[in-house]
Amino acid sequence: MTLSFSTSFSTSKRHSKQMPATQTKLNALAGLRAEHVEYEKALDDVRAEQARARTAVVREETKVKKAEKALEAKEPELVEVDAQIKHSSRKLQNSQKIQEQVGNNAGRQQAKLHSLRRDISNARQAADEAAEAYRRPSQHNTSLSENSLAEYRSL
C-alpha cells in the first residue's frame, strides 16, 4: 500500500505542479474566448454594415436602371426632334437662298422699273412735242369763209 500511496502522492504533486500551468492556460483561454466574442461581435457589426451598403448599392443601381430605361423611352422622341431640327435647318437655308435671290431680283426689277419709267417719260414728252407740232400749223391755218367754201364746192 505504501507503494500506492506514494504513487498517489507523487501524482498529486504532479497535479499540483500542473495546476498553476493549467490554470494560467484556462485563464488565457477565457481571455481568448472573450476576445473571440468581441471579434465575433465586431464581425457581425461589419457584416451588418456591409449588408446596409449592399442594399444601398442595389437601390442606387435600381435608380440608375430606371433612369436608363426612361432615357431609352425618350430616345425615339429625341430622334424625331433631331429629324425635325435637321428639316427646319434645311428649310431655313432654302429660305435664306430664296431671300437672297428675291433681293437680287428686286434690285434688277427696280432698275428695270426705273428704265421703263424713263421710257414712259420720254414717250410722253415725244407725244407732247408731236401734239404741239401738230397744233402749231393748225393755229396758223385760217379757215375759208363761207363764200370761198361755196365757190370750192361748185368747182
pLDDT in tens, the chain (155 residues): 444 444 444 445 555 555 778 888 888 888 888 899 999 999 999 999 999 999 999 999 999 999 998 888 888 887 888 889 999 999 999 999 999 999 889 889 999 999 999 999 999 998 888 888 777 766 665 666 778 778 878 87
Same domain, residue pair 55 and 96: no
Write down the pLDDT at residue 139.
Answer: 61
Q: 112 is in which domain, residue-wise?
A: 83-137
Grid cell at residue 95: 429660305
Whether residue 144 contacts residue 152, with contact meaning beta carbons closer than 8 Å, is answered with yes
Domain total in the chain: 2
Same domain, residue pair 51 and 87: no
Write down the pLDDT at residue 22.
Answer: 85
Whether residue 119 contacts residue 127, with contact meaning beta carbons closer than 8 Å, is answered with no
d(CA 74, CA 91) in angstroms, rounded, equals 26
